[in-house]
């Protein structure tokens, strides 16, 4: 028994030693740090007209280590002449060897993150850091550019529909405004929301919060002028406007603000369902849904066949209808048709906050 115990202990020590030995390997060493290349252009005049254009592409030669390994990169920017004392991250944790930056994003990084002057020529520098796991950063050389900054459109975190001094509805900001170079500037400063307006709230204004871009004070916006195209009334917003935005009657309305254009689109909507799976089963006529003011939900009970359906307002397809692009229960404008099975179904539509949702359930007997 004693001999067997000795053998077991020796075998265990052998495996421990073997495992420890396998973990040993060459020590990670940097052969070549990343090299940031000089961009094609180094002088820029930024403006809202070119805001969505990728005006600067930073490229670098990747770092080289003594063993094959996964390498990630951070790109940093700092005011020129500061030796990167207070750098900001442009992108982090990427494995590519380049990154594109739009005029809008570059302007935000310079005026907001680095607090450089607006409307003046400013100088900044970039560098690339390479990382392997938890290793210390390996720094590239620095490359500098010069850019004249600009004052972008007012873009607050929230817009609130106001009736006099009463808050009626906070609109949804449709983008995550973080200054990410991968975000399309056309989707920045876009707000949307649905609200039931009563007889007491047919005249409204919009109260914006603190500006996300330059930390400007909140503004109240009214209608400077308007135009009507089809079912949509477009108001041109102004903080100096004295006229509120008005609607003709009590009802359910969609408000869509675009601060890149300083406009708000107003559309009265009564929602319905339509499709090959819903009577009359030929995409010709919508079945109108009922709206609950208390629950802020549209609903309808329908007889269905195996097929598809969508949501559309006012018995029309344009300028708005909803499908489900990813089949995930959330809605997309002009999204993919939604599959539905045969039966008696209870369909709901919830537009109280973004992302918009719907449900299809068997109707209770």
Instruction: Map out the domains of the chain with their CATH numbers.
Output: 30-148 (2.60.40.10), 159-268 (2.60.40), 271-362 (2.60.40.3620)
pLDDT the model gives residue 11:
46
Q: Cα(74)–Cα(52) distance, rounded to whole angstroms?
A: 23
pLDDT tens, residue by residue, 320-356: 999 998 888 889 999 999 999 999 999 999 999 888 9
pLDDT the model gives residue 74:
94
Q: Cα(198)–Cα(214) distance, rounded to whole angstroms?
A: 36
The model's confidence at residue 300, banded by pLDDT at 50, 70 and 90, is: very high
pLDDT the model gives residue 301:
97
pLDDT the model gives residue 25:
58
Direct distance between the N- and C-terminal alpha carbons of the chain, in angstroms, rounded to an integer: 74
At residue 188, does pLDDT exceed 90?
no
At residue 179, does pLDDT exceed 70?
no
| Closest among 164, 213, 223, 158 to 353, alpha carbons compared | 158
pLDDT the model gives residue 13:
46
pLDDT the model gives residue 185:
41
At residue 5, does pLDDT exceed 70?
no
pLDDT the model gives residue 201:
95
pTM strictly above 0.75: no
Three-state SS across the chain?
CHHHHHHHHHHHHHHHHHHHHHHCCCCCCEEECCEECCCCCCEEECCHHHCCCEEEEEEEECCEECCCCCCEEEEEEEECCCCCCCCEEEEEEECCCEEEEEHHHHHHHHHHHCCCCCCCEEEEEEEEEEECCCCCCEECCCEEEEEECCCCCCCECCEEEEECCEEEEECEECCCCCCCCCCCHHHCCEEEEEEEECCCCCEEEEEECCECCCCCCCCEEEEEEEEEECCEEEEEEECCCCECEECCCCEEEEEEEECCCCEEEEEECCEEEECCCECCCCCCCCEECEEECCCCEEEEEEEECCEEEEEEECCCCCCCCEECCCCCCECEECCCCEEECCEEEEEEEECCCCCCEEEEEECCC
pLDDT tens, residue by residue, 194-204: 999 999 999 99
pLDDT the model gives residue 24:
53
Contact between residue 216 and residue 154 where contact means Cβ atoms under 8 Å apart: yes
pLDDT tens, residue by residue, 17-51: 444 444 555 788 899 999 999 999 999 999 988 88
At residue 240, does pLDDT exceed 90?
no
At residue 69, does pLDDT exceed 70?
yes
């Amino acid at each position: 028994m004693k001999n067997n115990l000795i053998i077991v202990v020796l075998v265990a020590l052998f495996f421990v030693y073997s495992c420890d030995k396998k973990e040993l390997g060459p020590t990670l060493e940097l052969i070549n740090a990343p090299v940031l290349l000089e961009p094609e252009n180094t002088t820029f005049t930024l403006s809202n007209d070119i805001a969505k254009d990728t005006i600067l592409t930073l490229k670098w030669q990747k770092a080289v280590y003594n063993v094959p390994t996964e390498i990630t990169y951070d790109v940093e920017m700092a005011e020129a002449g500061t030796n990167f004392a207070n750098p900001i991250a442009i992108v982090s944790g990427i494995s590519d060897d380049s990154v594109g930056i739009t005029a809008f994003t570059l302007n935000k990084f310079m005026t907001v993150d680095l607090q450089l002057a607006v409307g003046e020529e400013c100088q900044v520098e970039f560098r690339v850091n390479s990382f392997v796991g938890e290793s210390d950063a390996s720094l590239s050389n620095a490359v500098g550019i010069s850019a004249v900054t600009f004052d972008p459109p007012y873009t607050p975190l929230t817009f609130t529909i106001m009736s006099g001094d009463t808050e009626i509805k906070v609109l949804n900001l449709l983008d995550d405004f973080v200054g990410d170079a991968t975000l399309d500037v056309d989707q920045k400063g876009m707000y949307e929301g649905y609200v039931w307006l009563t007889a007491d709230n047919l005249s409204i204004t919009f109260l914006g919060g603190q500006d996300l871009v330059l930390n400007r004070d909140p503004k109240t916006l009214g209608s400077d002028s308007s135009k009507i195209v089809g079912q949509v009334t477009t108001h041109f917003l102004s903080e100096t406007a004295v006229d509120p935005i008005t609607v003709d009657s009590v009802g359910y309305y969609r408000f869509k603000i675009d601060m890149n254009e300083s406009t708000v689109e107003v559309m009265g909507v009564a929602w319905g369902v339509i499709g090959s799976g819903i009577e009359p089963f030929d995409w010709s006529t919508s079945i109108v849904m009922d709206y609950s003011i208390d629950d802020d939900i549209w609903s309808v009970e329908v007889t269905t066949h195996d097929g598809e359906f969508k949501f559309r307002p006012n018995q029309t397809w344009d300028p708005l209808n909803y499908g489900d692009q990813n089949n995930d229960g959330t809605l997309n404008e002009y999204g993919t048709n939604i599959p539905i099975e045969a039966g008696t179904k209870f369909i709901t539509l919830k537009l109280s906050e973004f992302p918009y949702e719907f449900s299809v359930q068997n109707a209770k007997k």
